[in-house]
Amino acid sequence: MANDTFLRACRRESTAYTPVWLMRQAGRYMKEYMAIREKRSFLEMCKTPEIACEVTLQPIKAFDLDAAIIFADILLPLEGMGIGFEFTKNEGPLIRNPVRERGHIDAIKVIKPEEDVPYLLDAIKMVKAELNGKVPLIGFSGAPFTLASYIIEGEGSRNYVHTKKLMYGDPGAWKVLMDKISDVVIVYLNAQIDAGVQAVQLFDSWVGCLGPDDYREYALPYTKRVLSSIKKSVPAINFSANTGTYLDLIREAGGDVVGVDWRRRLDDAWMTIGHDIAIQGNLDPAALFAPPAEIRKRAREILETAGGRPGHIFNLGHGIIVGTPVDSVRVLIDSVHEFSRK
């Protein structure tokens, strides 16, 4: 591979500089993406391997990134599970048949990736061929709790009332649901690995609505089962948002790399999870709306908190925000490489 810096950092090996990639790096801040989006729906883009391949490669062609991430969405397995969904005009997800009682849970099926998401596997193979070893390709899935929250709430939520009502009111049903979703995520990620991705990331974007005790009881066991059941041939990144107060439990859940958001200093977060594991993060995505000098300053500060230890992967604390200036993304990526080069 021409550039294996990201993979080396995942394994906490020495690297010539700190690798950088960005969550949602293929997306709505790029004019190339929007040119396609004007003609195609979001799901159509995901389900057309040639388009998904093209969109995956757009940021790789535009910036000096150290990894690509397949263009997809965490909800893609839902149709194979028997759960209908769509993306509204603002591209937010809407579940047509929310799962809120035992009968709904019993009807959920465990997907067969080759039958239910063949377009994703085809896109992975196309991207691998196009990259031709330039940088590694990352696959991903939603974590069990985040997927459960989506299908229970039916759409975005502030208080997760429906999710917690089921979780607290019928723990038996919650366990059946989470076991099924965990089975889905395991086969989904393993199929992506078989198709050729060289790392995977588990997105637990909504789990921060739980306190530490609830995370330990209702989410951790299922994330841990997923991360211990996927193939060990590639590194796994365990990313969660709003969990800075219990990063020790995130570490316990597993993964070769722990992704952290910007709500906790990177050095403090790394001390909490232990320096014997890699860490990913953690610039506030909104910082990319700052002047270039401020972006460079913040990039340098995060790198300084990492202290040059092996095992740091630079990333945002969450996905790129719509409207982010493309030039700001370039400034960040180039600054990370400049300031960290040994």
Q: Is 33 annotated in the active site?
A: no
The answer to whether 20 and 339 have CB atoms below 8 angstroms apart is no
Element (H, E) at 279: strand 278-280
Element (H, E) at 161: helix 161-169
- Cis before 242 (ω within 30): no
Q: Which of 28, 102, 216, 300 is catalytic?
A: 28
- Number of helices followed by number of strands (H, E) in the chain: 17, 9
DSSP 132: T
Q: Of the candidates 135, 138, 339, which has an alpha carbon nearest to the alpha carbon of residue 239?
A: 138
Q: Which of 12, 29, 33, 73 is catalytic?
A: 73
Alpha-carbon gap, residue 161 to 27, rounded angstroms: 31
Q: Is 150 annotated in the active site?
A: yes
DSSP per residue, 218-232? HTHHHHHHHHHHS-T
Alpha-carbon gap, residue 73 to 209, rounded angstroms: 21
Alpha-carbon gap, residue 242 to 260, rounded angstroms: 9
| pTM for the predicted model, two decimal places | 0.97
Alpha-carbon gap, residue 156 to 172, rounded angstroms: 25
- Where residue 14 falls (left for φ over 0; alpha for ψ -120 to 50; beta otherwise) is beta
The answer to whether 315 and 302 have CB atoms below 8 angstroms apart is no
Residue 91 Cα distances to 24, 61, 263, angstroms: 14, 25, 26
Q: Is 24 annotated in the active site?
A: yes
Q: Is 264 annotated in the active site?
A: no
Q: Which of 8, 24, 251, 296 is catalytic?
A: 24
The answer to whether 60 and 132 have CB atoms below 8 angstroms apart is no
For 263, how many CA atoms within 13 A lie in the half-sphere containing its CB?
11
Alpha-carbon gap, residue 42 to 301, rounded angstroms: 36
Alpha-carbon gap, residue 165 to 13, rounded angstroms: 45
DSSP per residue, 35-48? HHHTTS-HHHHHH-
Q: Which of 4, 12, 29, 37 is catalytic?
A: 37
Looking up tokens 């990894």 gives 67
Pair of tokens at residue 27: 């997306």
Q: Which residue type, as a one-letter code, is found at position 147?
A: L
Q: Is 296 annotated in the active site?
A: no
Alpha-carbon gap, residue 317 to 308, rounded angstroms: 19
Considering only the top CATH level, what class is 5-340?
alpha beta
**Residue 92 burial (CB count, 10 A):** 10
Q: Which residue type, as a one-letter code, is found at position 111?
A: I
pLDDT tens for the chain, 342 residues: list them.
899 999 999 999 999 999 999 999 999 999 999 999 999 999 999 999 999 999 999 999 999 999 999 999 999 999 999 999 988 766 678 898 999 999 999 999 999 999 999 999 999 999 999 999 999 999 999 999 999 999 999 988 889 999 999 999 999 999 999 999 999 999 999 999 999 999 999 999 999 999 999 999 999 999 999 999 999 999 999 999 999 999 999 999 999 999 999 999 999 999 999 999 999 999 999 999 999 999 999 999 999 999 999 999 999 999 999 999 999 999 999 999 999 998
In the chain, domain spans: 5-340
Q: Which of 29, 33, 150, 222 is catalytic?
A: 150
